[in-house]
C-alpha cells in the first residue's frame, strides 16, 4: 500500500474508551503474570490503532493546512488527545501497581516502568481541559506561521520559501529578505506574545495542579528524562560557554574575513562564502535519486529501508503554499511505516533532510518490530543522535549531491553544528527563565532573551532589524511554543554525533556497528544507558565538551576556508 491509500477513520472516542477500560480491568484483575501479559498485548494493539489515526491526521494536516477536512480532524485530535493520554496514564498506573512487576520486567525490561512512573507524575484527570487548551494554542501557533504571505521580488512566498533569499550572494537581497520576514513577525507580534503568554500560564497552572512549584520539573518529566536534571543541564551549558563559544566566535571572525566584511551582521550569517553556499546540483527528483544510490551503497540495512520509503511514498518533501513549515519524521504504527515531511527550497538543507530526517526514519524502521509502543522511539535527545550522526555517515556520498562544491559543503556542515550549539543552549536557558518566572511580561521575556543571546552569541548584531534587537528572534523557534525544553536535545545529540564523526574517521566499520546497535535498541533504555550501547561519552560530565571540540579543531586546521 502507498501512503495515500492508508485509511483514516475518525475514532469513536466513547467506543474506544469502553474498549480500553474493559482491557484495563482485565489487566488489573489478572491473577498471574500470563493474564496481565496477554492484556498488555491487547491494550497495545488498541493504542496502535488510535495512534495510527492521530498520526495520519497530523501528517495530512501539515501537508496542507488549508484542507478543511483534516483541519477539522486536527481540531478533533487536539480535543481528544488528552482524553487518550488520560487512559494511557490509567494503564501506566495499573502497570506500576502490578503485583507481577518482577516477571513483567524480566520480559519487557525496566524502561517501560520508568516511562510509566514518569507519565503517572505528569497527568491527572483534573488537568484535562488545560491540556486541551495547550494543544489548541500549539495549533494556533502553527497556523499563524503557516499563514505568512510575504510579497518578495514580485511573488507571494511563505516562510520556508524565503530561506534561499536569506542566503543570497547579494548582501542587499539578504538584508531585504530578513526585513520582509521580520515584518511578518512584527505585524503579528501581539498574536505571538498572546499565544505564548497563554501557553506559559496554562503550563504553570498544569504544573501547580500536579503539585509542582513550576513547569520546569514537569517539563523534564514530560520528556521522560529519568537520568539527568536541570542542574546537570546547567553544567553542560557552562561547558559550552567555556569550551565552544570561543571557537564559534573565531569561526564567525573567519566568516567575516571570507565575506570581506568589517563586521558580520545577522543578515550575513547564513552566507558562508562570497562564492555562495554549497547547493545541491539538481532538482528534487534528482536529489532523491542520489539518495537512493547513497543508501544502497551505505549498507544492506539502509538499502532495504530507503527502498521501503520510496516504494510506499512515505516522503512529502517539496515546499508549497498552505504547507506547514519545518521538517519532521513520524511513525504510523499499524503500517510499521516511518514518514518524512520537509520543505525543499533549493539549499543544502534539502540534502540534510535526506540524511537528518532519514536518520530518524532509519532508526524507527530498525526498531519497528518492538511490541511495546514505548520502545519504537527513544527519548527525544537520543532520537536526535540517530539523525545528526546519519548526516556524518553520509559524508562519503556528498560528492553525488554537491559535485565541485563538496569541500565547501563539508566545511559548512561541520561548522554549522558548532555554530548551532550555543544558539541551542540560548533557547534552553531562556526557557528555564520563562517557566521559573511565569508572570514575566512579554517585554521582560524579550529583554531576557536579548541578555542570554549576548552571552552565548557575543558576535551577533542586528543592524536595523528592531524587532530582533528587542529580543524577539525566538518567535520563529517552534519548539519554544510547542515542545518546551526539547531544544537542548539537539545540542546534546550534536555533541554525540561529533563523536560518531570522529570514530568514523578512525574506523568507519566499527563506528557503523555502534550506530546500528544504537538504532536497533530503539527506546528500550534511558538516554544515558543508550549512550553506553553506542559506546558514547556522557555529555554532562566535566571535560566531555573539550574532548569533542579538540579533534574538530585539528580537522579545521587542515582546511583553507578562504579558498573554498
Burial class (CB in 10 A: 0-12, 13-18, 19+), 402: buried
Is 9 among the domain residues? yes
Check whether residue 156 and residue 128 sit in a common domain.
no
Q: Compute the distance between CA of residue 511 and CA of residue 528 in angstroms, rounded to an integer.
A: 18
Q: Are 375 and 112 in contact (CB under 8 A)?
A: yes
Check whether residue 182 and residue 327 sit in a common domain.
no
Check whether residue 293 and residue 373 sit in a common domain.
yes
Q: Compute the distance between CA of residue 415 and CA of residue 395 in angstroms, rounded to an integer.
A: 14
Q: Quick check: helix, strand or coil at residue 314?
A: coil
Q: Are 431 and 480 in contact (CB under 8 A)?
A: yes
Check whether residue 130 and residue 64 sit in a common domain.
yes
Mean pLDDT throughout 225-254?
96
Q: Compute the distance between CA of residue 447 and CA of residue 434 in angstroms, rounded to an integer.
A: 11
Check whether residue 396 and residue 522 sit in a common domain.
yes
Check whether residue 389 and residue 518 sit in a common domain.
yes
Q: What is the pTM of this model?
A: 0.89
**What are the tens digits of pLDDT across the range 287-338?**
999 999 999 999 999 999 999 999 999 999 998 889 998 899 999 999 999 9
Strands 315-318 and 337-344: parallel
Is 521 among the domain residues? yes
Residue with cell 514518569: 118
Check whether residue 70 and residue 122 sit in a common domain.
yes
Q: Compute the distance between CA of residue 225 and CA of residue 262 in angstroms, rounded to an integer.
A: 44
Is 354 among the domain residues? yes
Angle at 378 between CA 373 and CA 382, to 5 degrees: 170
Check whether residue 306 and residue 336 sit in a common domain.
yes
Check whether residue 99 and residue 165 sit in a common domain.
no
Mean pLDDT throughout 407-435?
96
Number of domains in the chain: 3
Is 231 among the domain residues? no
Angle of helix 406-436 relative to helix 215-222, nearest 10 degrees?
140
Is 319 among the domain residues? yes
Q: Compute the distance between CA of residue 125 and CA of residue 12 in angstroms, rounded to an integer.
A: 20
Is 160 a residue whose pLDDT tops 90? no
Mean pLDDT throughout 54-73?
97
192 to 37, 186, 393, 481: CA distances (angstroms):
47, 9, 38, 9
Residue 356 pLDDT grade (very low, low, confident, very high; cuts 50, 70, 90): very high
Q: Are 458 and 476 in contact (CB under 8 A)?
A: no
Q: Compute the distance between CA of residue 485 and CA of residue 314 in angstroms, rounded to an integer.
A: 29
Check whether residue 288 and residue 375 sit in a common domain.
yes
Residue 92 has, within 13 A of its CA and on its CB side, a CA count of: 24
Is 13 among the domain residues? yes
Check whether residue 352 and residue 498 sit in a common domain.
yes
Across-strand partners of 328? Answer: 341
Domain that holds residue 159: 149-187
Is 538 among the domain residues? yes
Check whether residue 328 and residue 179 sit in a common domain.
no
Is 316 among the domain residues? yes
Burial 290-316 (b: 16+ CB within 10 A, else e): bbbebbeebeebbbebbeebeebebbb
Predicted local confidence at residue 345, as pLDDT = 85
Closest-CA residue to 498 (of 391, 400, 346) = 391
Predicted local confidence at residue 277, as pLDDT = 87
Amino acid at each position: 500500500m502507498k501512503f495515500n491509500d492508508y485509511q483514516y477513520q475518525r475514532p469513536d472516542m466513547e467506543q474506544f474508551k469502553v474498549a480500553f477500560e474493559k482491557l484495563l480491568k482485565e489487566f488489573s484483575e489478572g491473577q498471574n503474570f500470563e493474564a496481565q501479559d496477554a492484556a498488555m498485548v491487547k491494550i497495545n494493539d488498541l493504542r496502535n490503532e488510535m495512534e495510527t489515526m492521530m498520526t495520519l491526521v497530523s501528517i495530512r494536516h501539515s501537508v496542507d493546512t488549508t484542507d478543511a477536512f483534516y483541519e477539522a480532524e486536527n481540531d478533533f485530535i487536539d480535543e481528544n488527545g488528552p482524553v487518550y493520554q488520560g487512559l494511557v496514564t490509567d494503564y501506566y498506573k495499573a502497570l506500576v501497581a502490578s503485583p507481577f512487576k518482577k516477571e513483567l520486567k524480566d520480559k519487557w525490561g525496566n524502561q517501560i516502568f520508568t516511562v510509566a512512573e514518569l507519565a503517572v507524575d505528569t497527568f491527572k484527570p483534573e488537568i484535562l481541559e488545560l491540556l486541551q487548551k495547550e494543544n489548541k494554542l500549539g495549533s494556533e501557533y502553527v497556523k499563524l506561521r503557516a499563514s505568512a504571505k510575504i510579497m518578495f521580488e514580485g511573488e507571494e512566498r511563505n516562510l520556508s520559501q524565503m530561506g534561499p533569499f536569506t542566503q543570497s550572494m547579494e548582501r542587499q537581497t539578504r538584508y531585504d529578505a530578513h526585513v520582509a520576514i521580520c515584518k511578518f513577525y512584527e505585524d503579528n507580534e501581539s498574536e505571538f506574545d498572546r499565544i505564548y503568554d497563554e501557553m506559559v500560564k496554562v503550563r504553570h497552572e498544569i504544573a501547580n495542579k500536579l503539585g509542582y512549584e513550576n513547569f520546569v520539573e514537569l517539563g523534564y518529566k514530560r520528556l521522560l528524562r529519568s537520568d539527568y536534571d536541570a542542574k546537570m543541564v546547567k553544567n553542560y551549558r557552562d561547558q559550552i560557554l567555556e569550551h565552544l563559544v570561543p571557537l564559534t566566535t573565531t569561526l564567525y571572525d573567519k566568516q567575516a574575513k571570507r565575506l570581506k566584511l568589517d563586521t558580520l551582521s545577522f543578515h550575513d550569517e547564513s552566507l558562508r562564502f562570497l562564492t555562495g553556499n554549497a547547493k545541491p546540483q539538481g532538482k528534487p527528483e534528482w536529489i532523491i535519486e542520489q539518495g537512493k544510490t547513497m543508501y544502497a551503497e551505505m549498507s544492506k540495512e539502509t538499502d532495504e529501508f530507503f527502498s521501503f520509503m520510496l516504494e510506499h511514498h512515505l516522503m512529502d518533501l517539496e515546499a508549497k503554499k498552505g504547507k506547514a513549515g519545518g521538517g519532521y519524521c513520524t511513525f504510523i504504527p499499524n503500517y510499521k511505516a516511518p514518514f518524512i515531511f520537509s520543505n525543499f527550497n533549493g539549499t543544502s538543507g534539502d540534502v540534510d533532510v535526506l540524511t537528518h530526517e532519514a536518520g530518524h526514519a532509519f532508526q524507527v524502521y530498525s526498531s519497528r518490530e518492538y511490541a511495546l509502543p514505548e520502545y519504537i522511539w527513544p527519548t527525544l535527545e537520543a532520537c536526535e543522535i540517530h539523525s545528526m550522526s546519519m548526516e556524518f555517515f553520509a559524508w562519503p556520498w556528498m560528492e553525488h549531491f554537491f559535485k565541485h562544491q563538496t569541500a565547501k559543503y563539508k566545511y559548512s556542515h561541520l561548522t554549522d553544528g558548532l555554530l548551532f550549539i550555543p544558539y541551542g543552549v540560548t533557547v534552553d536557558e531562556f526557557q528555564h527563565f520563562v517557566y521559573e518566572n511565569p508572570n514575566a511580561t512579554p517585554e521582560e521575556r524579550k529583554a531576557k532573551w536579548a541578555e542570554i543571546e549576548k552571552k552565548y552569541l557575543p558576535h551577533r548584531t542586528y543592524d536595523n532589524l528592531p524587532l530582533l534587537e528587542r529580543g524577539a528572534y525566538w518567535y520563529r523557534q517552534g519548539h519554544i511554543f510547542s515542545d518546551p525544553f526539547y531544544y537542548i536535545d539537539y545540542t546534546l545529540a550534536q555533541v554525540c554525533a561529533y563523536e560518531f564523526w570522529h570514530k568514523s574517521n578512525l574506523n568507519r566499520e566499527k563506528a557503523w556497528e555502534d550506530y546500528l546497535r544504537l538504532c536497533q535498541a530503539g527506546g528500550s533504555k534511558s538516554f544515558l544507558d543508550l549512550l553506553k550501547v553506542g559506546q558514547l561519552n556522557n555529555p554532562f560530565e566535566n571535560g566531555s565538551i573539550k574532548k569533542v571540540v579538540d579533534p574538530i579543531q585539528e580537522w579545521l586546521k587542515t582546511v583553507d576556508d578562504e579558498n573554498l
